[in-house]
Amino acid sequence: MKPCASPGRHRRWALVCIAAAAGATWVVTAGHAMPVRAAACIHPTLKYYPGATDEKWRYGEADFHFEVCQDTPASTWTATASVQTNGTGRTLGYTFDNARIEVIGGNTDRFYDGKFDYHSCNPPTGFPCAHSGTFHIYFHAFKTGGGTPEVISYNRTTPAHEFTIYDTP
């Protein structure tokens, strides 16, 4: 680390140097050094698998990605969604698409509705489509009493009785 230099002998100055040393950030001011605490963030990806209620088959995968930080307000937290159909789903004529996640409430925390759509169509041609609907998975992002960020899933709904949402592949 290169030392901070004075801008001149006759000028008053307040000098702040930020340097990375051994993976930590330090603030150096007029001969004092103190470590800066980095914001503790979590970046979980919660995975869900739409499938059949009776055969235990999985037809695809929906991923919900979060960034929740300890030292930032809930309004700055982010969430994104993606979904894909696997080979079993495609063979049976299912398509999953239009993954999205939206904030549905919260002030110092966040409630989210994670959604993705499905279409049931003739497998060889892709049409006509007989059914369609939307899956919902609800999430709560919050800080615990000690300030640790967490994200949990607390409810899920499927568009038809033959579907369920699994936690495991």
Domain of 135 in residue numbering reads as 41-166
Structure confidence by residue, pLDDT tens digits, 68-81: 999 999 999 999 99
Identify the residue whose tokens are 């959604």.
115
Domains of the chain: total:
1
| Cβ-based burial of 118 (10 A; exposed 0-12, middle 13-18, buried ≥19) | buried
pTM across the whole model: 0.75
Residue 31 lies in a domain: no
DSSP string for residues in 113-155:
EEEEEEEEE-TTT--SEEEEEEEEEEEEEEE-TTS-EEEEEEE
- Mean pLDDT, to the nearest integer, of 33-62? 85
Residue 7 lies in a domain: no
Higher pLDDT, 20 or 124: 124
